[in-house]
Amino acid sequence: MLWRCCRFFFFLCAGAVLPILVVRPDLRWPAGLAGVLVAGTLWFAVDLWRAALLLKWLRQPGEREPPQVRGIWGEITDRVRRQFRMKDQQLAIVEKRRQDVLAGIQASPNGVVLLDADQRIEWCNQTAAEHLGFDAVNDQAQHLGNLVREPAFARYVAMGDYARPLIITGRSSTATHPVRLSLQLHPYGEGRSLLLSHDVTTLEQAEAMRRDFVANVSHEIRTPLTVLSGFVETMLHVPLEPEDRQRYLGVMLQQSLRMQTLVNDLLTLSRLEGSPPPGAGQWLPVGVLMEQFRAEAEALSATLTPVERPLRVQLAFDDEIAGSETEIHSAFSNLVTNAVRYTPVGQPIEVSWGRLADGRGIFSVKDHGPGIAPEHIPRLTERFYRVDRSRSRETGGTGLGLAIVKHVVQRHGGELRITSRAGQGSVFAVVWPAGRVRTREDI
C-alpha cells in the first residue's frame, strides 16, 4: 500500500512538472495545478477501469480466467483467483466423496430412495428402481405416491409409524416367479426420509419351506404312530385270533419300517448338508452299480405286484465314476426305485449310462409312468413335495428321495435334469462331471 501511495505521489508530481516546463513563466503555477488535476483524474480513471474489469470477472461465476490487470487490483485478482482455485479443489474433493458414497449405495443389494419433505424423489439407486418399477433418472422429482400405487404402502406412509417394515408384492411378480419386497421409511433431516427396499422372496420361501417341512414331518410320523398306537391298544384290550394278531403285527411292522425309512432319509439329508464335498479318490465301476440297481428294482417290483416291470440296462461305456460310494448308490438307486414305483405293471424301465460330447457322463432313468405336468417340475426336489399325495402314499415314498438326489449330485459337481410330460412318462438324468469319469481301460 505504501508503494502504491508513493507511485500516486510521483504521478501527481510528474503531472505538475511537465506543464511548468513547456509553458510561459507567468502561467507555470496554473499549468502545474492543471497538470496535477489531469494526472489525478487519469490515475483514478485507470484505477476505476481496472476495478471494473475485476468486478466484471467476479460477476461471471462461470468465468475462471481472471483479467490481466496490474497494481493493487492485479494483486487482488491474483488472491481471488487462488481462493477460487482452493474452493474448486475443495468442491472436487467433496464431489468425489459424494460420488463414492453414491457408488457404494448404487452397488448395494438393497434399494435406496432419498425423498424430500414432499415425498418427491431426490435420488435412488438402480436396485430401488428395479424393485419399485420406475426410472432412476427420468422419475427424479416425481412424487413417490404416483409411482408406488400399492394401497398398503399409501396407508403405511399416512400412518407415520415406520418402526416395522411393510411387505408388499413386487411389480415384476408373476405366478411362476413371485417377488416379495420389504419397504421401510426412515425420517431424517428437515422432513426428508430414506426409503429402503429389500427383496425378501428367498427369505419368505425359506420360511414357508421350514413351516412345510415341520408340518410334513409331523404328518408323516403321526400317521404310522396313530396306526401303531391303535393296534397296540386293540391287542392289549381285545382278545384276538392268531390270524388277526398276525395280521395286526404285520401292519405294525410295516408302519414302523415306514417311520424308520423316513428317519433314515432325514438323517441322510442332514449328513449331506453338514459334511464337506466328497473327494475323487474312490472310483466305482458303473457296470457293477447298474447290476445292483437291477437287482433292487426287481425285488421292489416283486413286492409291489406279482407282474414284473422289465428293466432294460444299457451301458454305452465301461466307465468308472469318482465319489462317495454311499451317496452315489443312494442317489442313483432313488431314481431307479422311483421309476419302479410309478411305472404301470408290464411297462419297461430304461436305465442307461453314456457320455456327452464334452466328456461328462450321463446316468439316465426313463419310465413310462403317468408323467409330470410342467408346473410341478421345478419343485420336485423340494422336501416332501408330491405331485399326487395319494399316489405317493400307495407307493410308500417319503417325499425326500429327489431332495437327496439333488444334494448328492450338487456335492459331486453334477447336474440333475428332469424331462417329463403328463401322460408320456419321465426321464431323470444325472450329468456327472468329466473330471470324475474315466474309462476302465485307462486305469
Please tell me the least confidently modeled range out of 49-53, 187-191, 262-266, 429-433: 49-53
pLDDT at 306 over 60: no
Residues 145, 178: one domain?
Answer: yes
Domain range for 263: 203-274
> Which value, to the nearest 10 degrees, does the dihedral of the CA atoms of residues 249, 255, 257, 263 take?
-150
Instruction: Quote the percentage of the chain above a pLDDT of 90.
Output: 12
Mean pLDDT of 373-377: 83
Residue 96 maps to a domain: no
Give domain status of residue 381, yes or no. yes
Q: Which letter, b or e, does each residue of 396-406 get, where b requires 16 or more Cβ atoms within 10 Å of its Cβ?
A: ebbbbbbbbbb
Same domain, 183 and 166: yes
Q: What would the mean pLDDT of 279-306 be, rounded to a whole number?
A: 78
Among 144, 169, 199, residue at a domain's last position:
199
Model confidence at 303, pLDDT cuts 50, 70, 90, reads low
Most confident of 14-18, 121-125, 252-256, 267-271: 121-125
CATH of the domain at 228: 1.10.287.130
Partnered with residue 439 across adjacent β-strands are 319
In a domain, 102, yes or no: no
Q: Which of 248-262, 299-313, 354-368 has the lowest mean pLDDT?
A: 299-313
Whether residues 342 and 427 fall in one domain: yes
Residues 414 and 304 in one domain: yes
Average pLDDT rounded to a whole number, residues 328-335: 88
Among positive and negative, which fits the CA dihedral 78, 84, 86, 88?
Answer: negative
Q: Do 249 and 301 sit in the same domain of this protein?
A: no
Contact indicator for 157, 119 with CB cutoff of 8 Å? yes
Q: Answer yes or no: is 363 within a domain.
A: yes
Round to whole Å and give the CA distance between 281 and 105.
Answer: 46
Q: Is the pLDDT of residue 108 over 90?
A: no
| pLDDT of 20 | 58
Query: Which of 45-49, 219-223, 250-254, 350-354 is predicted with the least confidence, judged by mean pLDDT?
Result: 45-49
**Tell me, what DSSP letter sits at residue 353?**
E
**Which class for 127: exposed (0-12), middle (13-18), buried (19 or more C-beta within 10 A)?**
buried
Say yes or no to pLDDT of 249 above 70.
Answer: yes
C-alpha cell at 218: 409331523
Boundary of a domain, candidates 144, 177, 199: 199
> Which residues, 6+ apart, have CB-to-CB distance to 50 below 8 Å?
69, 70, 71, 73, 74
Going along 389-425, which residue ranges are E strands? 415-420
Confidence of residue 184 (pLDDT cuts 50, 70, 90): very high
Q: Which of 136-150, 251-265, 330-344 has the least mean pLDDT?
A: 251-265
Residue 295, SS3 per DSSP: helix
Q: Output the nine-digit C-alpha cell for 174.
A: 408373476
Summarize pLDDT for 75-94 with one digit per residue, the tens: 666 777 777 778 878 888 88
The 10s digit of each residue's pLDDT in 383-393 is 777 776 555 44
316: in domain: yes
At residue 70, does pLDDT exceed 80?
no
**Would 163 be classed as within a structural domain?**
yes
Query: Do residues 222 and 145 both lie within one domain?
Result: no
Domain closes at, from 160, 183, 199: 199
Place 67 in a pLDDT band, splitting at 50, 70 and 90: low
Say what angle helices 401-411 and 242-274 make with each other, to 10 degrees: 30
Question: Model confidence over 15-59: pLDDT tens digits?
Answer: 656 565 555 555 555 655 666 666 667 666 766 777 777 677 667
Q: Are residues 174 and 210 in the same domain?
A: no
Asked if residue 95 is part of any domain, the answer here is: no
Domain of 408, CATH number, reads: 3.30.565.10
Q: Average pLDDT of the chain?
A: 79
Average pLDDT in the 236-254 region?
Answer: 82
291 with 438, same domain: the answer is yes
Residues 244 and 332 placed together within one structural domain of the fold:
no
Residues 315 and 371 grouped into a single domain: yes
In Å, what is the CA distance from 62 to each residue of 66, 81, 84, 93, 170? 11, 13, 11, 19, 45
Residue 160 pLDDT exceeds 90? no
Domain count of the fold of the chain: 4
Residues 240 and 292 in one domain: no
pLDDT exceeds 70 at position 420: yes
End-to-end CA distance of the chain: 99
- Cβ(273)–Cβ(407) under 8 Å? yes
The enclosing H or E element of 246 equals helix 242-274
Residues 137 and 252 in one domain: no
Q: Measured between alpha carbons, how far is 350 from 311 in angstroms, rounded to an integer? A: 6
Question: Is 0.85 surpassed by the pTM of this model?
Answer: no
Q: Where does the pLDDT of residue 120 fall: very low under 50, low under 70, confident under 90, or very high at 90 and above?
A: very high
Residue 101 lies in a domain: no
Give me the CATH number covering residue 151. Answer: 3.30.450.20
Instruction: Determine the Cα–Cα distance for residues 373 and 384; give it in Å rounded to an integer.
Output: 17
